[in-house]
Amino acid sequence: MTEPRIRRPRTAAPVRPGASARTRATRATAGDPFFRHLVTSLRNGVIAVTNDGRVAAVNAPAYRILGLEPSPQDTGRAVSALLAGEPELARVLTRASEGGHLPNRVELRLKSSGRVIGYTLSEVNDEQGTRVGTVMFFKDLTRVEQLEERERLRDRLATLGEMAAAIAHEVKNPLAGIEVMAGVLKRQLSDSREAQATLNDIIHECKLANAIVVEVLEFVRPIRLEMEQHVALGPVLREAVTLASATAHPGKIAVSVDVPADLPEVPGDPNQLRQLFTNLLMNAFEAMEGRGSVAIRVSLARAEDEGEQDQVVIDVQDDGPGISPDVADRVFNPFFTTKPKGTGLGLSIVRKVVDAHDGHIDLRMPPGGGTCFKVSLPATSQ
């Protein structure tokens, strides 16, 4: 498919009425360093290309968003070479620089990182109004997208949650009844070994089903934080280790907790935070099958911009089997599990607690293998 080419007649530059000779004479020229500084100082990503598809300018945010290493040799390179890892983006720019369509406010998912960018393309015209190139302005929308996704999830849960909570409650009672009656039968049939084994299985399955119901309720219940302004993470993390160890037996897994002494506290609900880290640790223990190590490291990330808050960053890293890239973006989805008896709700609850604390959570794959969950929580302002 070829797009209609835009051909502009070479006309004289439109002269602004009232523009005096003096203002024209003092107008900055394209060679003016001010223009370069203007482009490099913009917060949005900027890539400018000439009509022959060569790079005229790339600013630092563009490199950062695209995950490219800046190089002075980039100016003058073919844009398709600079963006070899992002063929879709290269195509949009090349097509535009050939006089094609100039999309406005379009979203595109980057191939290399999965990040979503929003971009706008504009013509670059010289004084005569002749088109000399094309410029793309773009912004990383990942954070915006995450917020929208959370909003959607919250809406879905509001309606779905009520129903699930009602069903879970209804199931809980008969389940307890079955377990009790199985216990009664066990006593009545105390001399039949076969019956004992079967009844033990029934009781075991009842307990499992009950654990699922409890988790579903935990998940769908709207979260109500009992906020405290100064929660010290050290004790919360150590309690989480104790709790997780009691439930998912860690065997020979070594657990280390490293909290700097001068770490600021966080505003939060200590019980919910403990639950959050317990869930992460249980997953680690379950993934590792009794050997390896889990390291919990806490650090402080100072705010980069004014008006932003310092963040306490908690890394929970294990050296287990890791999470394959094709399932990595689904692990936070409710009911996603790779375990035969998993509920797939552990990480959904984690995410819910993190959201309620205005924090965020990322999944990282350490280069040496294993899994790392990075939780950031706003620090208590001092």
Shortest distance in whole angstroms from residue 157 CB to ligand ADP: 15
What, of ligand ADP, Mg ion, none, does residue 323 touch, CB below 5 to 8 Å by kind?
ligand ADP
Residue 275 touches Mg ion, criterion: CB under 5 A? no
Q: CA 83 from chain center: how many Å?
A: 24
Q: Minimum distance from CB of 279 to Mg ion (Å)?
A: 6
The residue among 284 and 312 lying less far from ligand ADP, judged by its C-beta, is 284
**Residue 348 in the binding site for Mg ion (CB under 5 A):** no
Chain residue whose CB lies nearest Mg ion: 346
- Give the count of alpha carbons within 13 A of 45, CB side only: 22
* Bridge partners, residue 241, by sequence: none
Report in angstroms how near the CB of residue 235 gets to ligand ADP at its nearest: 23
Q: Does 272 bind Mg ion (CB under 5 A)?
A: no
Q: Minimum distance from CB of 55 to ligand ADP (Å)?
A: 41
Nearer to ligand ADP, 46 or 282 (CB): 282
Q: Which of 278, 283, 311, 371 binds Mg ion (CB under 5 A)?
A: 283
Supply the angle between the helices 193-220 and 346-356 in degrees, to the nearest 10.
30
In the chain, beta strands by DSSP E: 45-50, 55-58, 106-109, 116-125, 131-140, 228-231, 254-258, 266-268, 293-301, 311-318, 360-364, 371-378
What does the chain come to in residues?
A: 382
Q: Contact between 359 and Mg ion (CB under 5 A)?
A: no
Distance CA 225, CA 271 (A): 9
Residue nearest to ligand ADP as judged by C-beta position:
346
Contact residues for 227 (Cβ-Cβ < 8 A; gap 6+): 267, 268, 269
Q: Using the Cα atoms of residue 114, residue 115, residue 116 and residue 119 in order, give the sign of their dihedral.
A: negative
Near Mg ion by CB under 5 A, which window of 257-265, 292-300, 318-326, 343-351?
343-351
Size of the site for Mg ion (CB under 5 A): 2
Q: Kindly list the residues in this chain that would bind ligand ADP in the complex (CB under 6 A).
A: 283-284, 287, 318, 320-321, 323, 331, 336-339, 342-348, 371
Residue 89 interacting entry, from ligand ADP, Mg ion, none, C-beta within 5 to 8 Å by type: none
| Contact residue for Mg ion among 268, 346, 370, 378 (CB under 5 A) | 346
List the single partner that 99 binds among Mg ion, ligand ADP, none, CB under 5 to 8 Å by kind.
none
Which of ligand ADP, Mg ion, none does 284 bind, CB closer than 5 to 8 A by kind? ligand ADP
CB of 332 to ligand ADP, least distance (A): 7
Query: Are 120 and 136 in contact, with CB atoms under 8 Å apart?
Result: yes
Query: Which 8-state DSSP code applies to residue 54?
Result: B
Q: With contact defined as beta carbons under 8 Å apart, do 352 and 219 qualify?
A: yes
- Residue 365 and residue 348: Cα distance in Å, rounded? 19
Binding site for Mg ion (CB under 5 A): 283, 346
